């Protein structure tokens, strides 16, 4: 039952994001380190820290101005759905097998906010 609810939510989110995927990816690439941070659990199997979750929510709030469907991720408990967004936006469909430091930036693989 839980799996079917998860799949239903994933399908709805996929539809909402698919309509604006090109715009979303274009805008997300402008944010330094956002995609790397979003894909961190998929690439390294490491969990986001509290600071990284705050940074993700801040970036998603910014992106929701361009893609209103992303507002769901900024709402209370919306951060529980962020792994689904990472899965939907991931260009490959399998997890990486190594837990190493794949493609880490000079700042330790953390996203930064540049003014």
Domain spans, the chain:
2-89
pLDDT of residue 82: 85
pLDDT of residue 112: 52
Mean pLDDT over all residues of the chain? 78
Q: Which helix (H) or strand (E) holds 89?
A: helix 82-89
| pLDDT tens, position by position, 60-101 | 998 888 888 788 888 888 888 888 888 878 767 555 555 444
pTM for the model stands at 0.67
Judge whether 23 and 42 are in contact, CB under 8 Å.
no
Structure tokens at 62: 């910014």
| pLDDT tens, position by position, 32-61 | 899 899 999 988 889 999 999 999 999 999
pLDDT of residue 94: 56
Q: Is the dihedral of CA 73, 75, 81, 83 positive or negative?
A: positive
């Amino acid at each position: 039952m839980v799996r079917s609810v998860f799949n239903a939510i994933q399908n709805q989110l996929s539809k909402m994001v698919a309509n604006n995927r090109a715009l979303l990816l274009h805008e997300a690439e402008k944010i330094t380190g956002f995609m790397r941070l979003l894909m961190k659990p998929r690439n390294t199997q490491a969990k986001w820290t509290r600071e990284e979750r705050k940074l993700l929510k801040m970036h998603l709030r910014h992106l929701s101005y361009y893609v209103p469907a992303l507002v769901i991720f900024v709402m209370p408990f919306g951060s529980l759905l962020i792994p689904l967004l990472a899965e939907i936006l991931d260009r490959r469909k399998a997890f990486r097998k190594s837990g190493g430091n794949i493609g880490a930036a000079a700042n330790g693989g953390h996203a930064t906010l540049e003014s």
